[in-house]
Structures are given as C-alpha cells and as structure tokens.
Amino acid sequence: MRIIVFSDTHGKASSLFDVVEKHKKTTDIFIHLGDGECEADMVKTAYPEIDLRYVRGNCDVRSGAPMSLLIEADHGRKIYATHGHMLEVKFGIGTILKEAKAQGADIVLFGHTHERFYYYDSDSETYVLNPGSLSQPRDENLPSYALIDIVPSGVVMNITDFLN
C-alpha cells in the first residue's frame, strides 16, 4: 500500500495538483494534513477517482473537515492523522504520541510546524511523520511531501523534495 502525505499548502493549489498528477497511478491514499482544505477540495473535484482524505488545520476557517482521522491501512496498521495544532506539536511529540496510542494507531501523521520530521519511537513501536510544507517550509529545506509504503515486512517512510 502506498500513501502520499502533504500538508500546509496555504493556497498553493498548483503544487498539490503536481504531486497528485505525478503519483495518482501508484498511490492508494492521499492524505492532506490541513491548512489547505480549499486546495484539497479542488483536487477532489478534479480527480474524483483518487482517495484523498484531509483534516482541518488551524487556518482552515469555517471548515467542516474533521480534526483527525483514524485510517485502517494494510497489514493491520492504523494511521492517526491530524494537523497537530491542538496537540501542541510545536512543543514536542509527547502529546500526539499519547493520543495516537489511545486511538490504537502505530503510525502518526501531523503538519502545522512546516518542518520535516521523522521518528520511530521504539518504546511504543510508533512511526511519527511530518512531511513538512508543500508551499512554505520553515526549516531551510525545499517544499516537501512524504511517501509511505506499507508492506508485509514493515513500514517505509520517505520525505522528498518537491521540485516543480
């Protein structure tokens, strides 16, 4: 199973369209982690055949999107996806890890910080990922998104530069 994860597009729909166009034939689920609901809606309309899911970010005003998603993935994996602002991710991952474990998830996805982050917590056997921002990175890197492959032998996560 392949999952593409992006976050914090902040009005830059062209970047989102470019990533979806590049990966639409090889991806099972696309996940937008907030602050880009308008762009996600545009992509959903343009590509009704893809499975695009998204959560509400702190800048998605008047949004009807959920604050978080719990996604059943292949090989018994569960993904907890949220923007992260309500779980204080700018101050660490302790709170989001606790929430994910309470939800029974072993993969945690969040945005909000605009900074790439990958971590495997061996104590809780949980993968944690922030794909960075597809439009406004704050970590001196290029805009980015992530690819997750879930296979019988495990989980592989990669954060890749977005080069348009």
Alpha-carbon gap, residue 153 to 151, rounded angstroms? 5
For residues 69 and 51, the answer to whether their CB atoms sit within 8 Å is no
Q: How far apart are the first and last CA of the chain?
A: 25
Query: How far is the C-alpha of 164 from the C-alpha of 162, rounded, in Å?
Result: 6
In angstroms, the CA 3 to CA 91 distance is 27
What Å distances lie between residue 84 and 20, 29, 56, CA to CA?
23, 20, 10
The pLDDT of residue 164: 72
Distance CA(72)–CA(135), nearest Å, equals 28
pLDDT of residue 116: 97
What pLDDT is recorded for position 105? Answer: 98
What whole-number distance in Å separates Cα of residue 14 and Cα of residue 92?
31
pLDDT digits (tens, 9 = 90+) for 42-73: 999 999 999 999 999 999 988 999 999 999 99
Determine the pLDDT at residue 74: 96
pLDDT tens track for 77-129: 999 999 999 999 999 999 999 999 999 999 999 999 999 999 999 999 999 99
Could you tell me the pTM of the whole model? 0.97
pLDDT reading at 163 higher than 90: no
Which residues sit opposite 131 in a β-bridge?
Answer: 116
Ordered structural domains, the chain, with CATH = 2-161 (3.60.21.10)
